[in-house]
Amino acid sequence: MYGSWFLIVLILISSLPVIAVYIWFRTTKYQITLVQFLFALLAGAAAFFPALILQDILTFSSLTHGRGALFYNFFIRIALTEELSRFLMLFILFFIGFRIKPNTDESQPLTSNVIKRGTAIGLVAGLGFAILESARYAASDMSVIFVLLRILTAALHGACSSRVGSAVVMFRKNPVQALMRFFTAVAIHGVYDLMVRIPGLSSIMAILIAFSAITTTILSIRSGWESVGISVDNPDENQ
């Protein structure tokens, strides 16, 4: 019974960043509707399952010791699979669900507003992913420290996923820069996971990494609140 209540409380606490971001978008009149917000949240949550499958596939008992094993587990098996899964789900969301088409004229550059919209949607998706991940790990640790760590990790997921979201909308026009953003997200994610597992000063570094990453994301989104509509009901408006 205690475990069930802890799980419910953890999910509610993990949802606080989602609520905060939604209130932020509404108060600043950022044009993302509730439906779009929920679809982004759902895409992030859906990304949890292919990531889980990929992680199981990439589990090799022979890679359990040494520095190479640390790099493999944190950067390849965890960070790469999770960011790749989010990339795939956001790709589906953007190009099939929201029907975002950055520019129909191939000669025109990608607009900064479209990139910022991808960043914002990616942020929400990362927070959706974090909620399911928190529920998965709740059974193994029921402590206050764990709850605080999950809030910090949720911020990290949101920050990394925001970079993945911008990479998705940039991929057609600027594939090189899109790949750079994607692998930056993987690198930040991998370093954070590595720092969290090492006690002492490294844990402080993990906090700084998460704080710096989410702050950069917030500033990036805030730098352009111009309204570029993404209409689910009438996607032709956005072309």
What does the pLDDT look like over 116-145, one tens digit per residue? 889 999 999 999 999 888 877 766 665 667
3-state secondary structure of 165: helix
pLDDT, tens only, 194-211: 988 877 767 888 889 999
Q: State percent of the chain over pLDDT 90.
A: 45
205-229 mean pLDDT: 80
The kind and range of the H/E element at 9 are: helix 2-27
Task: With beta carbons less than 8 A apart as the criterion, state whether 89 and 47 touch.
Answer: yes
Report residue 169's pLDDT band, with 50, 70 and 90 as the boundaries.
Answer: very high
How far apart CA 201 and CA 21 sit, in angstroms, is 30
Report the chain's terminal Cα–Cα distance, integer Å.
Answer: 52
pLDDT at 99: 53
Q: CB atoms < 10 A from the CB of 63, how many?
A: 16
- Write out the two tokens for 211: 């704080």
pLDDT, tens only, 41-98: 999 999 999 999 999 998 875 565 667 788 899 999 999 999 999 999 999 998 776 5
For the chain, the 3-state helix, strand and coil shares in percent, each to the nearest 5, are 75, 0, 25
pLDDT at 163: 97
What predicted TM-score, i.e. pTM, was given to this entire model? 0.84
Task: With beta carbons less than 8 A apart as the criterion, state whether 238 and 99 touch.
Answer: yes
